[in-house]
Chains A and B, each alone.
Chain A
Amino acid sequence: MTQHHEFDAVIVGAGGAGLQAALTASGLIQVAVLTKMYPTRSHTGAAQGGIAAPLGNMEEDRWEWYMYDTVKGGDYLVDQDAAEILARESVQAVYDLEHMGLPFDRTPEGRIEQRRFGGHTRDFGAAPVMRSCKSADHTGHMILQTLYQNCIRQNVRFFDEFFVVDILIHDQVARGVVAIEIATGEMHIFHSKAVLVASGGFGRMFAVTSNALALTGEPVASLYRRGLPLEDMEFFQFHPTGIYKMGILLSEAARGEGGVLLNDRGERFLERYVPTLKDLAPRDLLSRFIYQEIQEGRGIGGKDYVYLDIRPETINHYQSAPGGRTVTAEELEQKLPDIIEMMRVYQGLEPMKEPVPVHPTAHYAMGGIPTDVHGTVRIGPNRLALGLYAAGECACVSVHGANRLGTNSLMDLIVFGRRAGSAMAEFCKRADFPALPPQPEAEVVAELERIRGGRGKERAGPIRAELQRTMTDRVGVQRQEEGLREARDKLRELRERYQSVSIQDRGVRFNTDLLETFELGGLLDLAQVTAASALARRESRGAHFRGDFPGRDDQNWLKHTLAYRTDGVGAAPTRGEVRFEWRPVVINRFEPKARKY
């Protein structure tokens, strides 16, 4: 039995962007928020270090400096109209969060306390600046909780554990979504005037990642399957300090408070590469320099990791704490409680007495669903969809360009979540319900039944493991033509094997075997687009580093990639190749320059 619902708008995802959009829109129109988990499980809650805004509570700061850092950090692929909006609207966004009850850390004067973060500088790159507003090292948790709390206050309508399997977009008009109620296995059609996708990232395409198991991106894949483009998918951020082997994130806040990276010789090697910002240079550079140290045999014991050292004696030796002041273990425990605990729990070591093994971990998709600065989804270089919006990590505004700065993801959620929610509400007030196609769920139900009833010998587990290994080894920190071609071929093989996948749980209720296998289909599509886009871009920019094209090439590549499927449209995984179009970068204030730190 399929159930039908009607709402002005449906929001897919209940992390920071979805909740902020719901708060903005729900007073104005009827909104349903669908999430495949509970809202408080969303990965926004895992963000640690802070949310950027030039409040100037600690030292002078200006939105122009913040905008410049964002543009330069993104290796000039940032659309500068979007960066200006982010920088200008960030200050009010932080005050609004505080007014909603967010428990920010405080200065002795009772104002919001701020700290340094990678790539955030004063005076256009002169030195690190204290711009990150935070609650110890669980800022994302506080943002997620605060937004959810206020959604409850506003009586936002949630559909928890509703898994969206298809987004109904026909003739470039959004018409609703198809979802499975996980507990019962029932299909639900949500007919709406508008859909806002806020489904987060898809880092689970990599073997080593900081991303939650749920971050598989199937709503993004849904749009791609329906013929919409994905933008700049070759730009995937590798965070420099993931826990060795596990990939769990150890926030940049550790270095903001004075922590340093050391190689096998005990050398603070970043002094050689980025003498001004050192350990607080942007993530793309740090990950690449760690990779280089490892390649040149200076990983710890010759292995594939370096040390993150947050011992007070080390910080005091290098005078690397803010202002060069002396720090104590007690103070660090207070400022970094969660990551210190994670080091203790997962690595079994004592970070106040010994350094911690780290290496880069797949962390954040700069690319995704292309949107304008109102969150409206682009269906081509110069065309917009009707009633379709996206915000947060799944979207590409593009405010992060080729490399996102730390703390900018949280600000992106708030600023662009609100703008998308507001634009969507305005749209719904004047729009009528578009017609639904006959049997709108039929296509995706056919795919789900193919998986549920499959008799093939393939299993999702091995396909997923091979996909993740391929992406980490061939489409990781350093890329080469040959490896990318191998990845493309391997992914083609995996997609074929996926056609004969079968599952063991043939039940209806809470069938996570079915849903995980459906998620894998989405990851296969998104990995293919990522690898193909990386193969196409023959230059190095931000997080996309090609060993065979090590320089940035503004002449030919100062442009956004738009990737499309080539084999029709539908709700099932694609089987054909990827085709490309390009879109110019908006440059209205800062001309591209060589990127030095």
Chain B
Amino acid sequence: MKVQLRIKRFDPEHQPGAWWSEHQLEAEPSDRILDLLNRVKWEQDGSLTYRRSCAHGICGSDAMQINGTNQLACKSLVKDMGPQIAIEPLRAMRVIKDLVVDLEPFFGMYRKMQPYLINDEILPADGKERLQSQTQHLRYEDTTKCILCACCTSSCPSFWASQEYIGPQAIVQAHRFLFDSRDRATAERLRLAGDVMGVWRCHTIFNCTRACPRSIKITQAIGEVKRAIAMGGVD
């Protein structure tokens, strides 16, 4: 099928403002949007700039707006997008060049949440694994799937309003450790998540949940963190 691709471009080295490039391509319905971007770069315009790596939805490099919604270009297919496809960088993040945005603030929010297991207790005497029941594992399993692609955070209206807001991704990290039976930093995690720029900025709009390419139930996870703060601890 014939596809018209419109890509929002920005290269301050050459031109101060953004502009749109247009590309006509013959595509298969099963082609990924990333395949189209690669073809533009390799066959038409080598200066087109975007991040990409695994090309099958697990590395999180190629998050962008495709026809107005945040998606991974490698997990979004032509047949679901139709013959007119508009591509823009993620919203509310500083654009460095074309579809590449500055992710440092995003990873800063990630680091702020102490995204690692905290448990300084003595390890099991037999030297083996800590025990965790299947039910305990299921309690936090969903939020372990996060690939840090930024689809959720940059789809959130609260984040559009203020980039000081830690955003859904950072709360997903908080959830992943708060509800892990092995973690011992509950009080500190609740304090961080409950900050003035924390969970209470979430107004349950569900954009993050819809945007997540890993199908994490983000709004639900945020709700569970809010409840834990209100209750003063996890159940």
Chain A contact residues, CB within 8 Å of chain B: 37-38, 40-43, 45-46, 55, 92, 94-95, 98-101, 103-112, 135, 138, 141-142, 145, 149-150, 152-153, 160, 183, 212-214, 248, 338, 342, 345-346, 348, 459-461, 464-465, 503-505, 507-513, 516
Distance of A36 Cα from B202 Cα, bound (Å): 34
- A residues near B13, Cβ cutoff 8 Å: 507-509
Q: Is the CB of A103 within 8 A of B97?
A: no
Given contacts A345-B77, A513-B47, contact A43 B53 (CB under 8 A): yes
CB distance from A388 to the nearest CB of B (A): 26
Q: Mark B40-56, 1 if CB is under 8 A from A, else 0.
A: 01110111011111111
Distance of A213 Cα from B45 Cα, bound (Å): 18
What would 22 A/B residue contacts be, using CB atoms closer than 8 Å? A37-B61, A38-B107, A41-B51, A42-B59, A45-B54, A95-B129, A100-B117, A101-B180, A103-B140, A106-B133, A106-B134, A111-B128, A111-B131, A138-B58, A153-B116, A160-B107, A213-B38, A338-B58, A507-B11, A509-B96, A510-B49, A510-B97
The residue of chain B having its C-beta at the shortest distance from the C-beta of A513 within the complex is: B46
Given contacts A101-B116, A101-B182, contact A509 B97 (CB under 8 A): yes
Chain B contact residues, CB within 8 Å of chain A: 11-14, 30, 32, 38, 41-43, 45-47, 49-61, 75, 77, 79, 96-97, 100, 103, 107, 111, 114-117, 123, 127-134, 136-137, 140-141, 144-145, 147-148, 177, 180, 182-183
Distance of A504 Cα from B42 Cα, bound (Å): 10
Q: Is the CB of A103 within 8 A of B180?
A: yes
- A residues near B46, Cβ cutoff 8 Å: 459-460, 503-505, 513
- B residues near A94, Cβ cutoff 8 Å: 129
9 A-B pairs with the lowest CB-CB distances in the bound complex, closest first? A101-B117, A461-B42, A110-B131, A505-B47, A504-B46, A149-B116, A513-B46, A153-B116, A98-B129
CB distance from B227 to the nearest CB of A (A): 22
- A residues near B132, Cβ cutoff 8 Å: 106, 110
- A residues near B61, Cβ cutoff 8 Å: 37-38, 41
Distance of A195 Cα from B27 Cα, bound (Å): 44
Q: Is the CB of A46 within 8 A of B54?
A: yes
- A residues near B53, Cβ cutoff 8 Å: 37, 41, 43, 212-214
Distance of A52 Cα from B77 Cα, bound (Å): 35
Given contacts A46-B58, A141-B145, A213-B52, contact A510 B115 (CB under 8 A): no
Given contacts A345-B77, A505-B46, contact A99 B56 (CB under 8 A): no
The residue of chain B having its C-beta at the shortest distance from the C-beta of A110 within the complex is: B131
- A residues near B97, Cβ cutoff 8 Å: 509-510
Distance of A592 Cα from B51 Cα, bound (Å): 46
Distance of A109 Cα from B147 Cα, bound (Å): 29
Q: Is the CB of B129 within 8 A of A460?
A: no
Distance of A503 Cα from B183 Cα, bound (Å): 51
Q: Is the CB of B55 within 8 A of A40?
A: no
Q: Is the CB of B137 within 8 A of A105?
A: yes
The residue of chain A having its C-beta at the shortest distance from the C-beta of B35 within the complex is: A246
CB distance from A162 to the nearest CB of B (A): 14
- Point out the residue from B96, B131, B144 that lies within 8 Å of A135, measured CB to CB: B144
CB distance from A174 to the nearest CB of B (A): 27
Distance of A109 Cα from B129 Cα, bound (Å): 12
Given contacts A38-B103, A348-B30, A509-B13, contact A212 B55 (CB under 8 A): yes
Q: Is the CB of B56 within 8 A of A342?
A: yes
CB distance from A505 to the nearest CB of B (A): 4
The residue of chain B having its C-beta at the shortest distance from the C-beta of A461 within the complex is: B42
Q: Is the CB of A507 within 8 A of B55?
A: no
CB distance from A256 to the nearest CB of B (A): 19
- B residues near A37, Cβ cutoff 8 Å: 51, 53, 59, 61
- B residues near A40, Cβ cutoff 8 Å: 59-60, 147-148
- A residues near B148, Cβ cutoff 8 Å: 38, 40
Q: Is the CB of A346 within 8 A of B180?
A: no
- B residues near A99, Cβ cutoff 8 Å: 123, 129-130
CB distance from B132 to the nearest CB of A (A): 6
Q: Which of B12, B55, B100 has the most CB of A within 10 A?
A: B55
- Point out the residue from A38, A342, A508 that lies within 8 Å of B57, measured CB to CB: A342
The residue of chain A having its C-beta at the shortest distance from the C-beta of B131 within the complex is: A110
Q: Is the CB of B129 within 8 A of A111?
A: yes
The residue of chain A having its C-beta at the shortest distance from the C-beta of B45 within the complex is: A504
- B residues near A101, Cβ cutoff 8 Å: 116-117, 177, 180, 182-183
Distance of A386 Cα from B144 Cα, bound (Å): 40
CB distance from B96 to the nearest CB of A (A): 6
Distance of A455 Cα from B119 Cα, bound (Å): 59
Distance of A227 Cα from B59 Cα, bound (Å): 33
- B residues near A38, Cβ cutoff 8 Å: 61, 103, 107, 148
